[in-house]
Amino acid sequence: MTNYAEEMMAAIRLGQMDQAQKAFQKSLAEDEDDLVYSLAEDLYAIGFVEESKKAYLHLLAKYPDEGDLKTALAELAIEENDLDLAQDYLAQISEDSPAYLQALLVKADLYQSEGLSESAGHALAKASQLAPDEPVVTFALAEFYFTTGQYHQAIRGYRQLLLAGQRRIAKVDMAARIGTAYAAIGNVDNAIAYLEQIKPIDLTIDTKFQLAFLYVEKKADEDALPLFEDILAADPQYTSVYPLLGQLYERINDLDQAEKTYRLGLSYDQTNPVLYRQAGLLAFRLGQYDQAKEDFNQALALDDQDLATYSALADLYLARHDYDAVIETVGAAQELDLVDPRFSWDLARAYHAKEEEDKAEEQWQAAQVDYPADPDFWHDLADWYHEVGRRKEELTALEKAVDLDPDNFELADRLADLSLD
C-alpha cells in the first residue's frame, strides 16, 4: 500500500512543493489514520503549521472525542496567537480524559502567552501532582521556574531529571540549564562545574559565551580566552564577546590586541555603547585623547543615561586640563539625575584649577562623604589645603591619608615635616 505521508515528507525534503501538496491530499484521503496523525506531528515539527492543522482537523472530524487531537490543535492555535480558540479546545478535555495531563501542559503555555504566570504555575503544579515522575512534566515545571526567575526551584527540577538519566529534553541540556541557573543566583563555582560537564561538541555558542563569561569573573583568563576565540571564529558578529575579550587582553597587558579587538567589534556593531566606552577607556590609557573623546561621545549618543561614560569623559577632560568641559559634562549628567561620587571630586579639582575656591571647597566637602577611606582622595584634599594656605586642615587630611596608607613613606615624611613646623 502506498504511504502518501512518507511521500509528502520526501517531496518536502527535495523542495518539490507541488508534489508535496498532492501527496498531502492523497494522504488525507487514503492513508491509515495513524499515518495521518504521524504526518501531522512531523509537519508541525518542521513548521508546516497550516498543513498540520488540516491533518488534525481531518482526524478530529472522524474522532470528535479524541483529546490528543484537541490538545494538538490547541498548541497550533497558540502558535497562531488564536488564544480564544486554544482555550475552547482545552475546555473540551475533561479531567478523566487520557489527554488531560498533556492538556494541563498546553494550558500552562496558553496562560504564559497571556502573561498569566501564576495561573501557568498552578496548571503545572497540578500536572506534577498527577504525574510526579513523568520527565516531561518535571521538565515543563523546571522550565517555568527558570523563565520566571525562580532559579532554586528550577535547579531542583533539572537535577531530578539529570539524576534520572534525562540529560536532554526538547534539545535542552539539563547541565547547561543548571549552570545557567546557578550563574543567575551568583554561584559562579557551581555554575562553572555544571557547564564544564557538557562535552565540547555539545556546547552551543551561547553556552560557550556564558562559560567564558564565568571564567572571566573567576579571573581564569587562560580558560576564557580560547572559548571567546572559538565563538568569534564561528560567528564574528557575536558582538557581546568583544567588550569582554578586550578587557581580558587589557588584564594580561596585551594592549595592542585589546585595541584591535575593540575596533573589530565596532566594525560589526556601531550600536553598542559599552563597546564604545571600553574602546575609549583604552584609547585614553594609550594617550589617544582625541580618539577617546570621540568614542565616549559616540557612547553617549547611543545611551545618554550611561553614567560610567560621563565619568570617563570628565576624567579625560581633567587630564587635558579642559576644566570648563569637566563642569559641563558633570552638569549634563546631573541634569539627567545621574549620580556618581566621583563627580564631586572632579568638580572640586576643576573649580580649583579655575581659582573658584568657594565652589571647590563645597565640592571637597561633598566628596569627603563618599571617600572616607580613599587615601588618594585625602592626598588630593591635603594638596588643595596646602595650595590655599590652610595648614591645620592640610595636617588633618595628611594624617587621614597616612592612616589609610601607612606604607606611603613620601606622605609620612611630608606629615612629619608639617608637624614639626
Tens digits of residue pLDDT in 349-385: 999 999 999 999 999 999 999 999 999 999 999 999 9
Q: Provide the pLDDT for residue 416.
A: 87
Please compute the mean of the pLDDT values over residues 119-147 and round it to a whole number: 93
Residue 401, in any domain of the structure: yes
Q: Report how many domains make up the chain.
A: 1
CA distance 179 to 201: 17
Give Rg (Cα) of the chain.
32
Q: Which domain holds residue 419?
A: 371-421
In a domain, 202, yes or no: no
Q: Where is 329: in which H helix or E strand?
A: helix 323-335
Distance CA 222, CA 215 (A): 9
pLDDT tier at 199, thresholds 50, 70, 90: confident
Structure confidence at residue 387 (pLDDT): 93
Closest CA to 212 of 171, 179, 260: 179
201 domain residue, yes or no: no
Distance of alpha carbon 228 from alpha carbon 185, whole angstroms: 23
Report yes or no on whether pTM surpasses 0.85.
Answer: no
Q: Is residue 149 part of a domain?
A: no
Specify if 418 maps to a domain. Answer: yes
Q: What is the mean pLDDT of residues 305-318?
A: 96
* pLDDT of 87 strictly over 60: yes
**Lowest-confidence range among 288-297, 326-335, 379-388, 411-420?**
411-420
Q: What is the DSSP string of 346-370?
A: HHHHHHHHTT-HHHHHHHHHHHHHH
Q: Residue 172 has what DSSP assignment?
A: E
| Residue 399 forms part of a structural domain | yes
SS (H, E, C) 226-242: HHHHHHHHHCCCCCCHH
State the CATH number of the domain containing residue 397: 1.25.40.10
- Structure confidence at residue 421 as a pLDDT band (50, 70, 90): low
Tell me if 381 is assigned to some domain: yes
Identify whether 386 is part of a domain: yes
